[in-house]
Amino acid sequence: MIPIPVFAGETVAIFGLGRSGLPAARALTAGGARVRVWDDDAERRAVAAAEGFALADLGAVDLREFAALVLAPGVPLTHPRPHPIVERARAAGVEVIGDIELFARAIAAAPEHRRPKVVAITGTNGKSTTTALLGHMLLEVGRDVRVGGNIGVGVLDLEDMHGGAVYVLELSSYQLDLTSGLRPDVAIILNISPDHLDRHGGMEGYVAAKKRILFNQGRGDSAVIGVDDAWCQQICTEITAANKRTTWPISARRAMGRGVYALQGVLYDATEGRVAEVADLTRARSLPGRHNWQNAAAAYAAARALGLSSSDAVEGLMSFPGLAHRMENVGSIGKVRFINDSKATNAEAARQAMSAYPRFHWIAGGRAKAGGIDSLADLYGAIAKAYLVGEASAEFAAALQGKAPYVEAGTVEAAVAAAFADARRLGEDVIVLFSPACASFDQYSDFEARGDAFRAAVHALAAPRVKEATG
């Protein structure tokens, strides 16, 4: 846990008691603050009360008694409209912040010798893989690395800071909206495409949230920016012109005179006045496809910015074991290989996985995002057959009509069984790709639960065959 002393002797309100809220309550209490907590969910309130935290219905009390309101990132801050607690806090003149801002203030308040290095990673797609990958690379060379934020452990539940530590943090646009004081030593923006537009009032608000990761950087800091989309190209141009920090452009689509780029699976380093071929990423089994080559380029650039040698950075890339629910190979039954890409919660994320295979059986569906799968039309020809699940079934069926064979399977379990039955009849190496292009909330609590259901369905199919083989 990271104690937060900046509100010592004051009272702080915390709304939302999930991954960020309870750790914030512990951290503020350890730093000498008084906390009052609330969540609309009675079960979460009960957990907090069992830990000894004082409950206070923040919709009813006078908020002027609080020095700040710490808001869970899942609670609407501005759009589609602010949550009532946000409106009440603003009316009372109480600042609204998140757990990442508490972390930033703790660093700012620490003496110089105790301040750690911070790498902050955002983007529409690839954040989790890049965060885990960079953490692995640093761990492999013996650095004291702590990985968290929007992945795994909430930031304030990580081990306390010291001058030799490196925090590698995945940050969502929701978290960045609640953050004003963070100054990362290395900031990474991988890519930007439309997502969460309802929460940011449109594309401009979404891009503005992502750009907050760069706000406080100055001389000696580094920014790693993907330049494979127009939004990030513009950001890279702006910050390079400002000349406040070292800029590392990255690409998985084109060669560059300066930066780090990957073409056809080969990673190139063009940061020291010459172009050097540094790695064959096609040999990195856990980093298949062009989107993962962009992730690898970003992690490599960040590692170099943190002082790793090129050879050490490459060794870390090649030994990365991969991340669950992101192009995860969950096993094979005969010649049929199953890939769990449950993290693909929008069409652009699904495109990354679909582009990695020339032909595949596709399991997709859930709660559709705006635009559905229309943007994937150029990939329909690679679909051997689609198996549609969840709320989006009818919508996706209409999109695929006459363009790719499909069946409305309904559930993930039924889709896995149907896909396997069709795939095994081909008598050749076949990919069954679970890349939903949808949110999970129609049938599951989150993408992890959805991916676990897919994995369990595959293992259930495999179990009788293992029993038959062993007698």
* CB neighbourhood size of 137 (10 A): 27
pLDDT (0 to 100) of residue 419: 97
Q: Is 138 helix (H, G, I), strand (E, B) or coil?
A: helix
The DSSP call for residue 220 is T
Can you tell me the distance from the alpha carbon of 265 to that of 71, in angstroms, rounded to the nearest whole number? 42
Q: Which of 125, 150, 292, 346 is catalytic?
A: 150
The token pair that represents 337 in the structure block: 């290989």
The DSSP call for residue 25 is H
- Could you give all domains of the chain from N- to C-terminal order, each with its CATH number? 5-97 (3.40.50.720), 109-319 (3.40.1190.10), 328-470 (3.90.190.20)
pLDDT (0 to 100) of residue 465: 55
Q: Is 116 helix (H, G, I), strand (E, B) or coil?
A: coil
127 annotated active-site: yes
Radius of gyration of the chain (CA): 23
- 313 CB-near residues (< 8 Å, 6+ apart): 137, 278, 299, 300, 303, 304
What phi, psi does 192 have (nearest 5°)? Answer: -140, 125
pLDDT (0 to 100) of residue 471: 46
Q: In terms of Cα–Cα distance, which of 141, 143, 142 is closest to 167?
A: 143
* Torsion angle of C-alpha atoms 431, 435, 440, 446, degrees rounded to 10: 80
pLDDT (0 to 100) of residue 46: 96
150 annotated active-site: yes
pTM to 2 decimals?
0.83
pLDDT (0 to 100) of residue 86: 97
Q: Which of 83, 117, 125, 127 is catalytic?
A: 127
Give the distance, in angstroms, between the CA of residue 40 and the centroid of all CA atoms in the same chain.
25
Q: For residue 409, which amino acid is it?
A: A
Q: Are 328 and 316 in contact (CB under 8 A)?
A: no
Ordered mean pLDDT values, 10 residues apiece, the chain (471 residues)? 97 95 97 97 96 96 97 95 96 98 97 96 94 97 97 94 97 97 98 90 96 96 97 96 95 95 97 94 89 96 98 97 88 94 92 92 95 95 98 97 97 97 89 97 95 97 59 46
String of DSSP letters for 283-312: G-TT--SHHHHHHHHHHHHHHHHTT--HHH
196 annotated active-site: yes
Q: 141-190, pLDDT tens digit by residue? A: 999 999 999 998 999 999 999 999 999 999 999 999 999 999 999 999 99
Q: Which of 196, 216, 244, 459 is catalytic?
A: 196
Q: In terms of Cα–Cα distance, which of 258, 278, 256 is closest to 266?
A: 278
